Structure 1
Amino acid sequence: MNKLLVLTLFYAALFIFPSTSFGQAPSLGTASSFALFTANGAFFNAGASMIIGDIGTNEGAFNGFPIPGTVVGNIRLPNTAEAAQAALDVVAAYNSLTPVACGPSIIADLASQTLTPGVSCQTLTTATSLNGTLTLSGAGIYIIKLNSALTTATNSSILLTNGATAANVYFQVNGAVTLGTNSSLKGTIIATGAIDFGTQASLEGRALSTAGAITLSNNSVYPPALSPDLTPVIELPQANFATAPNNERDFVVNVFELGGSPTSSGNVAMTLSAPIGYTISFTNTISSITVSGGSTVSVDNTKWTATSSDGDRFH
């Protein structure tokens, strides 16, 4: 009685931003292509994490990818030119945010606050938490500067309203970052300490550290511009399976273009997950797909791979 099936479709992209000033995004340099990176620290994953974007470390042990995790992007390891340059760029990005003038002050618990575009700063040095929902309202760049470590609670989240987008949100964290179980954060995190993802925590953006380990546990991290209409959730009620032979059902997923633009030129990944004890199967013999209102698109099934943990992941 498979109650819930979640399909997430991602499309890899890079983002380049202007130099930092009040209300402007920091330049990430080559780090803009990374979903997860630490300039100095170990990188560890446990479970079927799905990461869209480059990952790596410039100094420290690395394990957990490509198995059991899945990455749609490059893995950059110590003693490579790419990792060395990304390390320099992450430190430069963090330092560029330090002199940026502060606007509104924020309190230690980010929950139940509503921030508008600009630079918001924590004035105290006590630990910062998110024990609920932080609302960001309005189109523009958000720079959130924290003087201490950040911890998000279980099921905490960030709500984007009135034109706010994850691509325009930046957290400068002077310390470690801990994302709680099932929490959902949006934006680019640039921290000076370890970044620890609790089980099933997700990030629409990037997590970058100047000096700290990155730890994952069945997480998803994906680029900020990809989520608006490419993350459908399919509800499969238990009643639909009760009378079906062997408790099996076919289902149809409708996927739409992002903002009217085709997504055929980059890497595309679909994640199909089912509760523990159930499996997902798919036909890998189709040769074409008919697009409503358009033409027939050929499909090359040799480009698809599947891995399985609690569910099935195809990319």
Structure 2
Amino acid sequence: MNKLKKVFSTIILSAVMLTVGCDNNDTSTSTPTNPAITAKSPINDATNVALNKTISFSFSEAMDPETINATTFSLKQGTTPVLGTVGYSGTTATFTPSKPLTAGTVYSATISATAKSATGISLGANTSWNFTTGINAQGLSAVGLGTAGNYVILAKTAINNSPTSIITGDLGLSPAATSYITGLSLTNATGYATSAQITGKIYAADMVSPTSINLTTAVNDMTTAYNDAAGRPTPNFSELGTGNIGGKTLTEGLYKWTNTVTVPTNLIISGSATDVWIFQIAGDLTVSSGVKITLSGGAQAKNIFWQVAGTASIGTTAQFNGVILSKTGITFATGATLTGRALAQTAVILDKNIVTKP
């Protein structure tokens, strides 16, 4: 009996070991995941698309550039192919038509299943989408900053800094005086000041002419720019995510919210170097700590405008891109970075930040 038990135990142990071995083999030979399209610009069924639009689309991983070409991507008007140039960089491909598109026309874009990732895995299925051009559509135009664009930070009431920040670009404050610029250890000169924390100059309303006159013009231009951004009609997107835009990929266009906007998780802004984004926010803008706002497909911070009627708060170590036009204040928590401009109709508060003009 004991001998039979021993034989039976041996059989069970062998079966278990065989099962484990089979599981390991299944893991090592699992089917690779196909790459996917994560963003398209214009989006599917978009209307009023600009006639000079560069088509862009982003992948979930790096692709083999040799497979992103005029054979694997096509743009058609009906059955007629549109001539143009295909480009690829990072994880984003672009198609630039050789001549302007036709107004009021439906176009169909297709990426072939044969496009492959850098590891040789194909898309697996064709991806197609449609969009319609506008009548005399030339695309969303950038917000004109006027002389406010001469400053990386411009405020009316105060610029307060907790050292040490690293700022590239000029700072301006008006109608408040130099004494309302704190934490930058200013060295005064004629008509401006300098700081070891700034690659640029600092200007305030009580400095000698023409500084005060220039600042008055810049502040007026800042207000004009804010009103322009706030007044743009016919948004492409309204109340997106009911104000929570974390985790989204935002293509070019005019976005409108009637309340506060939050960015609790990473955000991608995807489009070409000529695309424009205007975000109309009737409440506050709050970006959580550690969040990254990433630009994709050639999108540029200088073409992204955050019009904020309330306060703009950028969390600890967050990475922010774009021009902030705030009717009230802008606050950067410890270690946050900005590539863009902070233009506030009250104060700008800094805390060991990196601020770089776009």
Q: Report the TM-score, using the length of structure 1 for normalisation.
A: 0.61
Distance 1:114 1:147 in 2: 21
More contact order relative to length (CA 8 Å, sep ≥ 6):
1
Larger Rg: 2
Percent identical residues: 29
User: Residue 44 of structure 1: SS of its match in structure 2?
Assistant: strand
Whether 2:271 is the aligned partner of 1:138: answer yes
Deviation at 1:72, TM superposition (A): 1.3
Whether 2:53 is the aligned partner of 1:53: answer no
Distance 2:214 2:288 in 1: 34
Deviation at 1:59, TM superposition (A): 2.6
Cα distance per residue 1:256-287 (max 9 Å; x no partner): xxxxxxxxxxxxxxxxxxxxxxxxxxxxxxxx
Which of the numbers 23, 26, 34 marks the counterpart of 2:140?
Answer: 23
- The one-letter code of the counterpart of 2:213 is A
Whether 2:340 is the aligned partner of 1:205: answer yes
Q: How many pairs were matched up?
A: 200
Deviation at 1:22, TM superposition (A): 6.2
Q: Which consecutive unaligned segments of at least 5 residues does structure 1 have? A: 1-20, 225-315
Distance 2:281 2:289 in 1: 20
Whether 2:130 is the aligned partner of 1:34: answer no
Q: Report the TM-score, using the length of structure 2 for normalisation.
A: 0.54
Question: In structure 1, what is the equivalent of residue 159 of structure 2?
Answer: 43
Which of the numbers 221, 226, 230 marks the counterpart of 1:94?
Answer: 226
**Is 2:163–2:184's contact at 8 Å kept on the other side of the alignment?**
no
Question: In structure 2, what is the equivalent of residue 274 of structure 1?
Answer: none
Q: Which consecutive unaligned segments of at least 5 residues does structure 2 have? A: 1-137, 187-194, 207-211
- The one-letter code of the counterpart of 2:167 is I
Whether 2:236 is the aligned partner of 1:103: answer yes
Deviation at 1:216, TM superposition (A): 0.6
Distance 2:338 2:201 in 1: 18
Whether 2:200 is the aligned partner of 1:73: answer yes
Deviation at 1:56, TM superposition (A): 2.2
Deviation at 1:98, TM superposition (A): 2.2
Which of the numbers 82, 87, 93 marks the counterpart of 2:214?
Answer: 82
**Is 1:57–1:77's contact at 8 Å kept on the other side of the alignment?**
yes
Distance 2:151 2:267 in 1: 25
Relative to structure 1, the CA distance from residue 46 to residue 129 in structure 2 (aligned partners, 3 Å threshold; closer, same or farther) is same
Distance 2:214 2:203 in 1: 7
Distance 2:245 2:340 in 1: 18
Larger helix share, 1 or 2? 2
